[in-house]
Amino acid sequence: MSDGPIGTGGPGLTKLNLACFTGNAMPSVAAPVLVHDSPLVAAGHTAAEGALELLPIAAVVVGVDHGELIFELPNAVFRLLRLGTEATTSALSRDLGERIAAFLDGSSLRDQMPWQVGDSVEQRWFDVRLSRIGMRGRRRCLVTLIDQTGEMRTEASLRREMTTDSLTGLPNRAGFGDRLEARIAAGLTNYAVLVIDLDRFGRVNSCLGSMAGDEMLITVARRIKGSLRASDVLGRIGGDEFGVLLAVDSDREEADQVARRIRKVLSTPFRLSDFEIRVSCAIGMAFGADTIGDAEDVIRHAQFAVRRSKETGQAEAYETRALDRAREEFAMETALRRAIDAGQLQLHYQPICDLATGRVIAFEALARWVGEDGRDIPPSAFIPVAEESGLIVPLGRWAIDEALRTLAVWDRRFSSTVQMAVNISPIQLQRDCLAPIVASALATHGLAGERLKLELTESALIADPDGNAETLRALKATGATIAMDDFGTGYSNLAYLQKLPIDILKIDRSFVTGMMADRDKIAIVRAILSLATTLGMETVAEGIETHDVAQTLAALGCTYGQGYAYAAPLSADAAYELLVARNS
């Protein structure tokens, strides 16, 4: 409405015929009233003098007589909504009567409030606006109700779409989080969240197609739902992840029982495209606590527990230390990435000696890292982080190149045939094209292939013996020597030792340490040495700490050894001095 006066209403007032609010097509003339900035919107004029034709907004004049609310002149829209034409029986006065009465008793010209009325089936939402009017000196206000039901239902529909997984019909991560957030906001802590991570689901998608994968997810959702109570909430919170929200007692036994039921229902094979698929899963659990910040915290905690579940094969509960450890690992990953890019890592070199003569026949290159604060960071701390993050690939490439560069520098100063041994991570073995990298590094530094020894762990080699055999043959073509590290700690099929082009078996230090007082260890070492001799392989014993052990190993038939009895890992300069001293 215009801020200025119309007719004789005076400043800030609008003079209308109350016929405007009857909703009739041809309004009857009624006494004029003064409306303070009424929110009604004019759409045009009728033939009646001075009357306005308004949009269909419900309106009623409300007043107070003898301490009771009264309704006057409800328009047709108000009556159509069945809001009640008598104040004593109207839902409007029941819900908002006190607010309207307070407005009439006060001095404000207008007020505004939301109103929700009706049951869940016929629920309606209104924006209720109060405008004070002058009507023959009596206290009256015009109450207009702008119907927002359509907008609210549209918003609710969009919200449902945004919080529902279209494939399974379950709450998605946002919807699952909303339900969890409601518990947290209510101050409840007697709940648990389970995250179910399906193992190798990507392989089903890649082998059988996305339609088969979708069918499997729907079936998985149905089975999990069937194992839950009616009060439990199931959601799909990731591509192959489901979340369950449970109300539990103070202990975790109830959550453990649910986890066992879920594992049981998923253990039954799935039939997809004429294939029988067996599904396994990892289950992580997190429990409500006063310290929880929001729903994402709980879900993230359960996801951390999933990582441990993958290792143990059992449902695992989140431990506070797990998040701290993950943050530490992430910080270390960031620092390690910077260190690799900036060339801040170093190699130290531990000699491998001939047990009979004591001469150095090779050095094993070992990565060392000094942090920005000057502290030594042990390989046992940063190598697992490098493998988890994939940084082991650039780290491994750098180690090959740096070790061969150092060997080439030594060759220019002292003529020898000493070899350089470099460890190859299982991750690098799987992901990297090793043979071209090795060939390029050898050519760059002008070294023959037989000067390089590549050490791979037993567990890495037996993980994919057929695929690894091809990689090892390509590496052998460069002239490099292949050593199986930590032999005896895995579960090798001895037939693979014949198939894989392995030159050296390295006896794990666990069999060497304390062997002088342990007949079983001596028997194991003797068996490994006999096997190596039969297969035409050389042997290196790790972890030699005394010369007595070295002599015993030599007597048993071991060829080479390394350990603190000879030297700890040394800097490049110190290793070179040892080489010259022992081999001159």
Report the length, in residues, of the chain: 584
Contact between 403 and 411 under an 8 Å Cβ cutoff? The reply is no
The residue out of 250, 283, 318 marking a domain boundary is 318
Q: Are residues 298 and 333 in the same domain?
A: no
Q: What is the pLDDT along the chain (584 residues), one digit of tens a residue?
A: 333 333 333 433 334 444 444 443 323 333 334 444 444 433 333 434 444 444 578 899 999 887 889 999 898 888 888 888 788 888 898 999 899 999 998 888 999 999 998 877 788 899 999 999 877 778 889 999 998 888 888 888 888 888 899 899 999 999 999 999 999 998 888 999 999 999 888 888 877 888 888 999 999 999 999 999 999 999 999 989 999 999 987 678 889 999 999 999 998 888 877 788 888 899 999 998 888 888 998 999 999 899 889 888 899 998 766 667 777 888 899 999 999 998 889 999 999 999 999 999 999 999 999 988 888 999 988 999 999 899 999 999 999 999 999 999 999 999 889 999 999 998 998 888 999 999 999 999 999 999 999 999 877 777 777 778 889 999 999 999 999 988 876 555 566 777 788 999 999 999 999 899 889 999 999 999 999 998 899 999 999 999 999 999 999 999 999 999 999 999 999 999 999 999 98
Q: Is residue 75 part of a domain?
A: yes
Distance separating alpha carbons of residues 552 and 537, to the nearest angstrom? 19
Residue 73, domain CATH: 3.30.450
Same domain (yes/no): 198, 313 = yes
pTM above 0.85, yes or no: no
SS3 372: coil
- Phi, psi dihedrals of residue 211, rounded to the nearest 5°: -65, -40
Residue 422: domain span? 328-583
Q: In this structure, are 95 and 169 located in the same domain?
A: no
Q: Does a structural domain hold residue 424?
A: yes
Tell me, what's the pLDDT at 41?
36
CATH number at residue 339: 3.20.20.450
Long-range contacts at 354-358 (CB < 8 A, ≥ 24 apart): 354/559, 354/560, 355/541, 355/550, 355/551, 355/553, 355/554, 355/558, 355/559, 355/560, 355/561, 356/554, 358/566, 358/582
Domain membership of residue 74 (yes or no) is yes
- What is residue 469's predicted lDDT score, i.e. its pLDDT? 86
Q: Are residue 115 and residue 185 in the same domain, yes or no?
A: no
Do 503 and 567 have their domain in common?
yes
Task: Let me know if residue 8 belongs to a domain.
Answer: no
Residues 552 and 519 in one domain: yes
Residue ranges with strand state E in 538-583: 538-541, 560-561
**pLDDT for position 25:** 32
Q: CA 105 to CA 326: how far, in whole Å?
A: 62
Mark which of 276, 300, 318 sits at the end of a domain.
Answer: 318
pLDDT at 141: 92
Q: Are residues 361 and 271 in the same domain?
A: no
What does the alpha-carbon distance between residue 565 and residue 543 come to, in Å, rounded to a whole number? 8
Indicate whether 304 and 336 sit together in one domain: no
CATH number, domain of 175, equals: 3.30.70.270
Kindly state whether residue 6 falls inside one of the protein's structural domains: no
What's the pLDDT score for residue 12? 38
The sign of the torsion formed by the CA atoms of 419, 423, 424, 426 equals: positive
How many DSSP H helices and E strands does the chain contain?
20, 25
The residue whose two tokens read 């997190």 is 286
Round to whole Å and give the CA distance between 484 and 402: 22
Residue 134, number of CB atoms within 10 A of its CB: 17
Residue 7 placed within a domain: no
Smallest Cα–Cα separation from 236: which of 248, 245, 246? 245
Residue 452 is predicted with a pLDDT of 97
Evaluate whether residue 500 is within a structural domain: yes
Q: Note whether 255 and 388 are same-domain residues.
A: no
Final residue belonging to a domain, choices 151, 184, 206: 151
293-to-169, 244, 301, 323 alpha-carbon distances in Å: 28, 19, 12, 14
My answer on whether 220 and 365 are in the same domain is no
- For 405, the 3-state DSSP assignment is helix
Kindly state whether residue 486 falls inside one of the protein's structural domains. yes
Domain count, the chain: 3
Nearest alpha-carbon partner for 20 in 32, 7, 11:
32
At residue 493, the pLDDT reads 59
Mark whether 137 and 173 lie in a shared domain.
no
Residues 387 and 526 in one domain: yes
